[in-house]
Amino acid sequence: MDREVKYWMLVASKDHVKNGIEQGIAQACHGKVAPLKRMRTGDFVIYYSGKLSFGKPEKCQEFTALGKVIDDEIYQFQVSEDFCPSRRNIEFFTTDDVSILPLIDDLHFIQNKQKWGYPFRFGFFEVNKHDFDLISSKMLHQQYA
């Protein structure tokens, strides 16, 4: 029996996401391997960026990348002497960054609309097909509008 496709939300600053797009990779939760092990070939990922730059206060509040897991390989990459994060290979699609603000009321994973940022505190979580389709349609559609 084939495994059902899953849809994953990853959280990272916009500068880190754009760097990952250039490299064709995903990292999650500061390089932890456990979230990456939950993904399988053919699954989809969406990145949400609450901040523009890592460690800085400027807000972004946009979905900033959309991609597909292209293999089952998880590997480590030495970034610096004391940082060796786990990574997955991702095929990223050409998309527009999309604000979360007009979508909050229609996203099922946001249960408390007043505290809509709460789910993102986990850094990585599964979303349902409805939410994936809503976000991805906005990210892909705006190019052709």
The structure's pTM equals 0.91
Is residue 122 one of the residues assigned to a domain? yes
Is residue 2 one of the residues assigned to a domain? no
Q: Up-side HSE of residue 143: CA atoms within 13 Å toward CB?
A: 9
Indicate the number of domains in the chain: 1
CATH code, 72: 3.10.590.10
pLDDT on residue 141: 66
pLDDT on residue 42: 96
pLDDT on residue 93: 96
Residues of the domain holding 36: 7-144
How many beta carbons lie within 10 A of that of residue 69, not counting itself?
A: 22
pLDDT on residue 145: 42
- Residue 46, SS3 per DSSP: strand
Cα separations (Å) of 112 from 16, 56, 140?
28, 26, 27
For the chain (length 145 residues), average pLDDT per consecutive 10?
87 95 91 91 97 92 97 86 88 96 97 96 95 96 52
